[in-house]
Amino acid sequence: MRIISGIYKGKRLQAPKKLPVRPTTDMAKEALFNILNNYYYFDEIEVLDLFAGTGSISFEFASRSCPKIVAVDQHKGCVRFISEIAHHLEAPVQAIQANVFGFLEKHLQSYDLIFADPPYHFELADYQRIVTLSFSNKLLSNTGTLIVEHPKQTKLDKIPHYWETRSYGGSSFSFFDWEHSN
């Protein structure tokens, strides 16, 4: 895993091979952050990274000077790896071990940007649950964006608050916000 831009640009982070992850490709990450550069001042936003895995996305946000990133994953090894790297880099990434749906049901803070990269075997109802909980529990600020990474063949455009989808290789990012309620 490589950090593609910002203060940690070029830094390679070697995750243990036994982690059950599928990191976002560098090409897709670069495209995503090029989009986000047009909408956000990274040093002014708080980010929630769901199904964080190796923390690749969290560390990209930290590298761009985001002041607070919360990374949630159920796997103990992933959380340990994220915590170790955050400590080593002195990055503002807080790793939390939790079931994402349980976290979304009970968490009270709102974020400017929520990124979710669930397992690719998810059913449409699981993707919808992420969106529904994020909006119904007001975890997304009024001007915030929820981004869900998913396989290209999965279509999320019928879920409320859908805005658009961008595809890169076999991956897609679907964007949701308060302005779009379908």
CATH number, domain containing residue 103: 3.40.50.150
Is the whole model's pTM more than 0.85, yes or no? yes
Number of domains in the chain: 1
Rounded CA separation 33/121 (Å): 25
Strand partners, 12: 2
Confidence of residue 113 (pLDDT cuts 50, 70, 90): very high
Q: Is 20 a domain residue?
A: no
Share of the chain above pLDDT 90, in %: 77
Q: Is 18 a domain residue?
A: no
3-class secondary-structure state, position 157: coil
Q: Is 101 a domain residue?
A: yes
Q: Which residues form the domain of 46?
A: 26-177
- pLDDT single digits (tens) 58-90: 999 999 999 999 999 999 999 999 999 999 999
Share of the chain above pLDDT 70, in %: 96
Q: Is the pLDDT of residue 16 over 70?
A: no
Rounded CA separation 173/136 (Å): 21
Q: Is 153 a domain residue?
A: yes
Contact 122, 97 (CB under 8 A): no
CA distances from 89 to 3, 26, 83, 133, 146 (A): 12, 20, 10, 32, 26
